[in-house]
Structure 1
Amino acid sequence: MRRTRTRALVTSLAATALVLSACGGDDGSEGEGGADPQATSAGSTLASTWPLTGLPVKGDDSATQDHPVLVLKMDNTSSSAPQVGLGSADLVVEELVEGGMTRLAAFFYSKIPSDAGPVRSMRASDIGIVSPVDAAMVTSGAAPITIKRINGAGIEFFGEGAKGFYRASGRSAPYNLFTDMTATATLTKGGDRPADYLAWGEAADLPKGKPASRLAASFGGSHTTTWAFRDGGYVNEGTYAAEGDEFPADSVLVLRVEVGDAGYRDPAGNPVPETKLEGTGEAMLFHDGRVVRGTWSKKSLDAPIELSTKQGELKVPAGRTWIELVPREAGTVTVSR
């Protein structure tokens, strides 16, 4: 799937700042009026749910917004505390970056927060993460080689120098870059409702699985994310989010992924890893204090994530989901009953 809407051009000022900051059927059997009743029903179902959560659209809201999905790259180290805006995200993907640390790709669509950050740079790994929903990225920038690849993938992005971005007082660079996302969202236009990020289903239809009240996802370096099931949801016990602004995870989805070399080093000399979010691998879906094991597959970088068990398709219960992209070789996932 390639981007169908025109990709906005980044101004030369913003582009310079980005680089610097990187440091129905053909049988004629149509129903009356020419519409396929089955297709119309399916379209109505999609229009009544949010693409990043599968939750119903309420009131006068619309599943088609006047902006695309926006994915903000957020720092995920102690220097980022307190992170702002995570509580408004529909979905979050945690990915490995250099030095064994992780960075967050926070997806916003049904709700756009005002302030969000700290905003950090893109990686080539993000191509496979954001492309399935034609998302636009909110970023501090990227290395030139990454910007070239992001451009080649047709991904729209906005960075420092663009509307909404500012440096917060009382914080040290590079952890002081924030944006008013309501302002940044006006720089781009929405189109059709995005595709569902995952296949959404009902909790009652989820395979039974096994008890799992805790999990620890280690990325093979100095970072481990630990989750505990409490009061019907999952709590990130090491979160850097501001109090009251934590991401309320209904499910945690762990995908074991291949990690390669992005082909360059960061300013500290660390090799930059690249998560390969295509192919197949082991999947672990945590919901309601239990874990269901299966397999994930992704035919290409811009294809959707598909989940399955030996019994068939595995659907994620509608709700807000945190996805852990844990390295297959160096990472580990520890599960406790």
Structure 2
Amino acid sequence: MGHRARIRRATHTAALLTAVLAASLTAGCTGQGRDDDRAPHHSPTPSPSLSTAGSPLAVKIDNVPAARPQTGLDAADVVYAEQVEGGLSRLMAVYATRLPAAVGPVRSARESDLELLRQFGRPTLAFSGAQRKLLPLIDKAPLRAKSPDEAPDAYYRGTGRAAPHNLYLHPAGLLPAAPGGTALTTGFRYGPAPSGGTPTTSRTVRYPAARFTFTWSAERGGWLVAMDGTPTVTTDGGRMAPPTVVVQYVKIRASAYHDALGNRTPYTETVGSGKAQVLRDGRSFAATWSRPAATGGTTFTAADGSRMDFAAGQVWVVFAPAP
């Protein structure tokens, strides 16, 4: 074999080895993470711009005991609580009127999150990853999906906690500013409390392996939150006490997806209608909820047929299994 032929063959072999190595490294980026954060999301990442100013930021937040106390949860306008694998719970915090310096720990997305977020037009979703087969649905959803792969500078690993409970977000890395209250297209209405209601001191919602308890505090003008029997505080020491808590009874069914252990992921249906309880001002009000289409918000109606008004301030919505 001539000298030039040997050079061409060596060059071709090196190119093949480089391609194989690159392919193996790419494959290693997926399926190797911990728990259900095992399939990072990949797509081009534009820098934050004014085009995001009219949409809220939604952050998936870890809620197992090892993830508490959370950071930045008190700044959210709405906190959704949902059931996930193993009967545990996870939170979705929505920010519109203000952005905290940090939020977390950030965890992975679920299929039903996409339906829930349709009401916000094109929100920004901060999440740590997702089940690999779910990623194409996230790509097609009308939202700005921003995992650490798309926006690495917006995330950081905290100290003092083991992964995966130590991933945090700097919201300013995803949005230039808080979009304001008009971005909260939830369908909620705020105003004076309706007449009637049942005096209530405490209300507990249970999942198979988690529970939320809300205890009325006249001093705070809100419902002190406890999760799994432990008072809920943030890292700055503040006790969570939202003025309004909604227990929304929904259908929770198995989805087509599962976690790394093979547990089937629950799907929380937030489009439709059903019963609800609204807690505000130390009272519980029987209500019904209605969300005819995913692109609209949820309206709540009191027992007398009037629109249910919420108290000003943070709202917690706990999705409870319909009886």
State whether TM-score is above 0.5: yes
Aligned partner of 2:245: which letter?
V
| Alignment-mate amino acid for residue 309 of structure 2 | K
Change in Cα spacing, 1:191 to 1:87, as seen in structure 2 (3 Å) is closer
Secondary structure, counterpart of 2:117 in structure 1? helix
In 2, distance between residues paired with 1:177 and 1:246? 22
* Count of equivalent residues: 274
User: Within 2, Cα distance between the matches of 1:158 and 1:65?
Assistant: 12
Decide which of 122, 127, 130 is 1:142's aligned counterpart.
130
**Are the counterparts in 1 of residues 98 and 180 from structure 2 also a CA contact under 8 Å?**
no
Name whichever of 285-294 and 296-305 sits farther off: 296-305
Instruction: Answer yes or no: is 1:301 the counterpart of 2:290.
Output: no
TM-aligned CA deviation for residue 311 of structure 1: 2.0
Structure 1, 94-103 or 312-321: larger mean CA deviation: 312-321
Q: Which amino acid aligns with 1:234?
A: W
Instruction: State the partner residue of 1:57.
Output: none
Name the counterpart of 1:267. 260
Contact kept in structure 2, 1:198 and 1:305, CA below 8 Å: yes
Residue 121 of structure 1 aligns with which residue? 108
The sequence identity of aligned pairs, in percent, is 28
Given that residues 127 and 150 in structure 1 are in contact (C-alpha distance below 8 angstroms), is that contact kept between their aligned partners in structure 2?
A: yes
Q: Which runs of 5+ in 2 are unaligned?
A: 1-24, 39-50
Amino acid at match of 1:136: T
Displaced runs of 4+ in structure 1, greater than 3 A?
Answer: 16-21, 188-193, 245-248
1:67-82 equivalent positions in 2, closer than 5 A: 68-82=55-69
Report whether the alignment pairs 1:182 with 2:172.
Answer: yes
Q: Structure 2: how far apart are the matches of 1:166 and 1:128?
A: 28
Residue aligning to 1:131 = 118
For residue 19 of structure 1, report the CA deviation from its aligned partner.
Answer: 7.0
Instruction: Give the Cα separation in 2 of the matches to 1:201 and 1:74.
Output: 26
In the alignment, structure 1 residue 318 sits paired with structure 2 residue 312: yes
CA RMSD of aligned residues (A): 2.8
State the alpha-carbon separation in 1 of the partners of residues 243 and 268 from structure 2: 25
Q: Cα deviations across residues 233-256 of structure 1 (Å, max 9, x unaligned)?
A: 110123263253444301101100
TM-score by length of 1: 0.74
Amino acid of the structure 1 residue aligned with 2:161: R
**Counterpart residue identity of residue 253, structure 2:** G
**Structure 1 residue 189 displacement after superposition:** 10
Structure 2 CA distance for aligned equivalents of residues 306 and 20 of structure 1: 42
| Deviation string, structure 1 residues 83-134 (Cα, Å, up to 9, x no partner) | 1011111110001110101100011111111111000001011123222123
1:157 match: secondary structure:
strand
Q: What is the DSSP-based 3-state SS (H/G/I as helix, E as strand, rest coil) of the residue aligned with 1:237?
A: strand
1:289 CA displacement: 0.7
Do the aligned partners of 1:198 and 1:316 also contact (CA within 8 Å) in 2? no
